[in-house]
Structure 1
Amino acid sequence: MYQANKKKKKKKKKKKKKKKKKKKKKKKKKKKREEEEEEEGEEEEEEEEKKKKKKKKKKKKKKKKKKKKKKKKKKKKKKKKKKKKKKKKKKKKKKKKKKKKKKKKKKKKKKKKKRRRRRRRRRRRRRRRRRRRRRRRREEEEEEEEEEEEEEEEEEEEEEEEEEEEEEEEEEEEEEEEEEEEEEEEEEEEEEEEEEEEEEEEEEKEEEEEEEEEEEEEEEEEEEEEEEEEEGGGGGGGGGGGGGEEEEEEEEEEEEEEEEEEEEEEEEEEEEEEEGGGGGGGGGGGGGGGGGGGGGGGGGGGEKKKKKKKKKKKKKKKKKKKKKKKKKKKKKKKKKEEEEEEEEEEEEEEEED
């Protein structure tokens, strides 16, 4: 226990010594700081005094420079005054001369002004006229453009409809391509046969006359049949008369159907003639007039041709529309060019005037 207490006392003494050393060090540091701060303060004061001295010297130098400048300015002013006096004398002389010249110029200017005024008035009138003309032309052009736009919209709608139809017909075209190749060969032959077609047209006219004669003969036969039936009905009684009337009605219906078929075939022939196929159309018409069976067969084989004809007609319509558009554009260009030439001629005439 005794030794343990000694150790504790030694430790306490060591701690106290360390604390004292720390305090001494802190005091020394404080003194150093204070001394350094005092030295810095003295140095700053010395620097401020130096700066003040420099400022005073600068002020003195500036004052001297200002005095010198003032002296120079005074000398310059005196010289300027002398020069001004001389200039004034010269100016007075020049003014007198100028006044004389001005009087002469004024007279000339008045005349020029009158001329200019007249010219300006003329120019203004001409400009107004030109502006009015230009406005009118612009309005007319705008109206024409609006009309064109409306037409183009309508044409676009028509083209869209045609395109839809063409899309539907594309499937059929694949089947018809082979036939088109054959038709191209036939067209080459038709170009060689165009001279023969004129002769065939005359033959067709003769055939039409023959058909008319046949119709007249058929009418006469009908009348004869009616007369025979009336005679037969008088001998056989009321029942026989009723049966004859039914037969007459059936014959009349058959004749009407044949006439309708002939008219349809004639229309088809005319369409084929327009497209260059007159000879083939005539043959089809004859077959239709001879009997219903032959006409039906010809119609079944001609459906593809009809479709081709429709396509050709559509193509022709498109071409016509394009041509019309081109013509309209050309006309507009011509109008514009003529108007511009007229304006240029008018301007040249005005400038010459």
Structure 2
Amino acid sequence: MRAALLAQKFDRVILDESHYAKSFDAKRTCAVYGDLDAGGSHLLNKRALAAIGEGVWCLTGTPLPHSPADAYPMLRALAPMRLVADQAKSWPDVTKYQDFLHRYCVVRMKATSRFRKIPVVVGGRNLDELRERMAGFFLLRTQEDVGIRPPVYELLPLMVPDAARRAADGDADLSAVLVAIDAGKTRDLEMHLGPLRRQTGVIKAPAVAAAVREEFAGGLDKIVLAYWHREVGDVLADELAEFGVLRLDGSTPAAERGSIEQQWLTDKSKRVFLAQIVAAGEAIDLSSAAVLWFVEASFTPKDMKQMSLRITNHTQTRQAVVRVCVIENSIDEAIQARLLMLWTAIREVIGDQNA
């Protein structure tokens, strides 16, 4: 397929979901942009898809999915002059990846074993400078720009018995978990937290249900509860059955999605929507509710953002509120705090790109 594409010439190469090409270590990034030579001093792009078009447009709602370092492949391939030194502004040359990484990211060496350490990004630095380098590179349209109010994001700490909190923490190595988060290694996170992650969700579910009952008693009309594991959805469905539950997950037939959506939008007796994060994260309108809680979270910010947007659109007249439920004083809470640090650095870079 790549050879067939390279045999043609295009006016525009449009890269949908372009955030997937965030590292030159990935073959898909090299197929699109080329291969780095001498650490980035040169880009070998004669067999790159980006080289066969008169112009390249990157389409994405999450241009920096993990950290400021994710901007490097796009800039190196499509706007390399933005990386050269500018003596008037005291900007160094960051054409090489390592120079870019250490100029705009806080990098720490973290041990993955007794014998191996790897560099991981734990935050951003010199972000005003990076934002200025990138000015005009993005054409950003926010929800507010098109008349939609974005959600308000909050953490919702849950108190559970000490024994339950210890069970949720299990024997997970918090240091190793945070290393995997900083490195954006989802597979490593699954390795460390796989079974424990499901157990944590099951432990949280009854506490979430109790909090939902309190919200309904206080006047809340409807709520969307986003989750990851089927067992967590089962607990929530049982606990909240009295409030009228609708559910959409991977087992829901495609032919039934539309009717479930319409029930949620029109039937006031259906007050709880259980949304599996991947299955219900796109192409569904849940805006008859203005409140969404993540009972479980995804390790990928993109999934969280897509799910959050299900309760926001032009018909939403209320301020949408998204809460991430965490077990107080647990590994669960520490994970979400670290993810929030990285996401804050990303927002600082792209937040004002309104060229």
Q: Normalization by structure 1: what TM-score?
A: 0.22
Which structure has the larger Rg? 1
Higher strand share: 2
Task: State the structure with bigger RCO (CA 8 A, min sep 6), 1 or 2.
Answer: 2
Higher helix share: 1
